[in-house]
Amino acid sequence: MTQRLRLMAVHAHPDDESSKGAATMARYVREGAEVLVVTCTGGERGDVLNPKLDRPDVWENIAEIRRAEMAAARDILGVDQAWLGFVDSGWVEGYTHDDPSGLPEGCFARVPVEEAAAPLVKLIREFRPQVLLTYDEEGGYPHPDHIQTHLVSMAAIEAAADPARYPDFGPAFEVPKVYYHISFTKVKFTALHEAMEAAGLESPYGERLNDDWVGDKSPRITTRVPCGEYFELRDDALRAHATQIDPDGPWFRAPLTVQRAAWPTEDYQLVRSTVATAIPEDDLFAGVRAPAVADR
């Protein structure tokens, strides 16, 4: 018998799971793995980014609508999902975790990290993932809830492995492999931009390539997971978050055939591992999968 593979992905808001790592999760689900998305907040303070839905009735019911959107995306990807139950902090320009001034009282980013980590410790011990995905120390980008998600994830990983902490949450469990999403890199945008131009198409990536790429995280990639055949499911899940994505916007302007040819992977940085693996990887479960047993 082989062990069931289990992957946990910790995200700040509903819709983050569909814009970061969705095709990877869809692939592993269809290969038989259990995948649990943990959503830290309800996205209550998120903007309505789809101009077709920028209406008073949507704004008035945004929390309820975003829960329904999350349910639809979850079903498309085939993942399980759990809410941590914290309240969205909203966007604050120039935010740093050392200065929470300007954030609403009671929001996720103002909750002490150890307190916010507790429900995630419980989920880790219950689900016992061999792989956990989360954000890097900058949150991927400096949204207060994304930075808090990083801090909470790393604190929960440490605490879940310590039998002296949270003894009421079940037996201690050490997550074998921990990864950061490395989603938006100059090398990826360049490849997609050049592929669009080679196909004679207007590229949505050119303007982004003019940005200041100081601190580009391309060199941090350790693991590229081939998942191009699941890009359509990724996009369907993202469109399910209808308040958060314009279906006619730049996200969907590059044909999937171009994307699959130019960059058919989702990319990660392995930051902790208790199992032997070789870098670069093409599988988040490298070193975890039980070796094949020869016929006797």
- DSSP one-letter code for 98: T
Asked whether residue 13 is marked as a ligand-binding residue, the answer is: yes
Asked whether residue 11 is marked as a ligand-binding residue, the answer is: no
Helices 144-160 and 113-127 meet at what angle, rounded to 10? 60
Residue 164 Cα distances to 114, 117, 157, 186, 232, angstroms: 14, 15, 14, 43, 45
Q: Specify whether the backbone of 16 is left (phi greater than 0), alpha (psi in -120 to 50) or beta.
A: alpha
Q: What are the residues whose beta carbons fall under 8 Å from the beta carbon of 165, sequence distance 6 or more?
A: 121, 159
Beta sheet of 6-11, edge-to-edge order: 80-86, 34-41, 6-11, 131-134, 177-181, 265-273, 223-226
Asked whether residue 146 is marked as a ligand-binding residue, the answer is: yes
Cα separation, 279 vs 270, in Å, equals 9
Cα separation, 46 vs 157, in Å, equals 27
Q: Annotated binding site for Zn(2+), which residues?
A: 13, 16, 146
Q: Annotated binding site, which residues?
A: 13, 16, 146
